[in-house]
Chain A
């Protein structure tokens, strides 16, 4: 074990040991020790036992199992305690340390090729995500954080399941109408204009510096103007999305069209290929990695543009509208439900573009290398 792993294991063991000797929580006005909840005491003993028994041969699976048990037991006791005591936090810390130790041990095992990185590598980020959710839940409920400040994940989930129709209507208004239409039109226009100006070196030299400058500007600022021009409904939001996505697409496509080497272009000429044949058979495929880079940047920009544009005026439906009104009512769990949905939609959108990219640019080293 590395020094860091030894330190993690030592701290986890000490935290577990200390759990047995300090009050765990307050139940019905009385502080109770860890053995009031038998699983908690058992967990502490088992953690110490595993750390002592296996020491240098500690396998990632053991750490993972201990961390998982700690999470389940901790969350299980949450509903039965009034207020968390030092023991509660010690169990949380020791569980967190075990999860960290798991990540360290698994990363080490993958590095020394004991286990396959492809099969098990995804477990590490997944564990971090789950650990953050558990800590969030434990801190907000155990520590009595006011729900206005930060609601626990469980109540956000309850809100999501309770108001699915409302969320679906917002999703349809913002994502299916404004984002997708704006994204398609903006990226399409950027792509076509890039191909059009590609034939003129003069226009390319004039528009490219401006295009890359404009893509660094705070383009969300045009949202109020678009709302004024196109009204409150989704066309104004789609217009914001079009303008926000146009320039990154233009710049990336022009850069991509220059990506094919002169050798390949010369070869197309020896085949007597015309402009369009060269474009479709050589230059566009060579530009694909750049084009998809633009598409990926735009997939997040589009969602931001549509939601922010809704802050400036909208009909009474839409994700941005819901966020701004529910914030005003201090209905924070509804806001978090919208955010969770926006995050999910954004990640899925990005993921789908990435999947299409992997299919189209299967020849590119970054895809072939795995």
Chain B
């Protein structure tokens, strides 16, 4: 096997396996004190090392759940339980996903609009751009609970408050990427449009917009992941009603570590799927526009 080859599948797999081994080892180490305590209390003296290891891997409320426990919990809460049930992780993931998608859509539209204004107006560029950058140094997630609670107080509930946080997090990468993208046509190309007597609108739709699309998709991949973070944090202050964030909070209230870890993995899988989905749309759009792979 050629480990120095071009692909990165083999190294990634081996590193993943190593992480799995380390995880199992850490499970034994972290869960051992509680297990020893249990043995002492139940007067179990004759325990073998193998029994000890399997016991630490299968505790009810472990300090660190073992990978197979998380996998079983994920399987149970997605495949076995009915989707409509409150115990179903798919149900919670859907609640989070809908807020994420709404926020992502609003953030992308806002980002694109701002970028269009910034590119076409010098004063907008000078006045808005510094504040857009500054807006991201503000720990917006800290404001999340207030936005949720305050909007709840004036009877705006449901998806919108969560989505607003997602919007705030996701518009930034889109603005920055689109400003760069809309400015990426070279002077030569702009001059050509000028010799065609193209209006600003025509220049925008026939030159700037197509040139900016690759930048748009790159920044949308970042934006969709940020949007998910916003939705999850937005679910924390509502007091564990529904959504992956609520599962995290509920798990931490009741010490259900397996539930926390499975919610965390569900969120990671969701983030991966969303990024892949944006990538697929990108490939379709780019192919329609006539790009050759």
Contact = CB atoms under 8 A, between A and B. Distances in A.
B252 A107 contact: no
A128 B272 CA distance: 38
Contact of B146 (A111, A209, A332): A332
A347 interface: yes
B130 to A, nearest CB: 4
Interface residues of B, number: 59
Interface stretch (A18-26, A182-190, A255-263, A303-311): A303-311
A124 B127 contact: yes
Contact of A206 (B12, B131, B143, B146): B12
Contacts of B255: 228
Interface string B123-154: 10111111100101111111101100110011
A143 interface: no
Interface string A189-229: 00000000000011101111110010011101111110111
A71 B12 CA distance: 60
B130 A350 contact: no
B142 A206 contact: no
A111 B123 CA distance: 10
A127 B131 CA distance: 11
B122 to A, nearest CB: 4
Contact of A148 (B127, B150, B257, B275): B150
Given A129-B131, A207-B15, A304 B271 contact: no
Interface string A313-328: 1000001100110011
Nearest to A349: B137
B222 interface: yes
A121 B138 CA distance: 23
A355 interface: no
Contacts of B125: 107
Interface string A331-363: 010011011001100110110000000000000
Contact of B126 (A107, A320, A343): A107
Contacts of A227: 252
Interface in A89-114: 100, 103-104, 106-108, 110-111
Contacts of B210: none
Contacts of B257: 225, 228
Chain A, interface SS category:
helix
A304 B139 contact: yes
A294 to B, nearest CB: 15
B251 interface: yes
A222 B264 contact: yes
A4 B142 CA distance: 39
A104 B142 contact: no
Contacts of B252: 224-225, 227-228, 312-313
A224 B122 contact: no
B11 interface: yes
A128 B189 CA distance: 34
A110 B127 CA distance: 13
Contacts of A229: 63
B142 A121 contact: no
B237 to A, nearest CB: 7
A330 interface: yes
A119 interface: no
B145 A311 contact: yes
Interface string B271-286: 1100100000000000
Contacts of A320: 142
B90 interface: no
B260 interface: yes
B102 interface: no
Contact of A209 (B12, B131, B154, B244): B12
B137 A124 contact: no
A229 B139 CA distance: 25
A3 interface: no
Q: Which 5 A-B pairs have the closest CB atoms?
A: A206-B11, A224-B252, A206-B15, A107-B123, A125-B130
12 contacts: A107-B126, A202-B11, A216-B222, A221-B264, A224-B248, A225-B260, A303-B142, A308-B142, A313-B252, A319-B142, A323-B143, A346-B138
Interface of A: 4, 100, 103-104, 106-108, 110-111, 121, 124-125, 127-129, 148-149, 201-203, 205-210, 213, 216-218, 220-225, 227-229, 299-300, 303-304, 307-308, 311-313, 319-320, 323-324, 327-328, 330, 332, 335-336, 338-339, 342-343, 346-347, 349-350
Given A149-B150, A218-B225, A327-B149, 12 more contacts: A103-B126, A110-B126, A221-B244, A228-B252, A304-B140, A307-B141, A307-B142, A313-B252, A323-B146, A327-B146, A330-B149, A339-B146
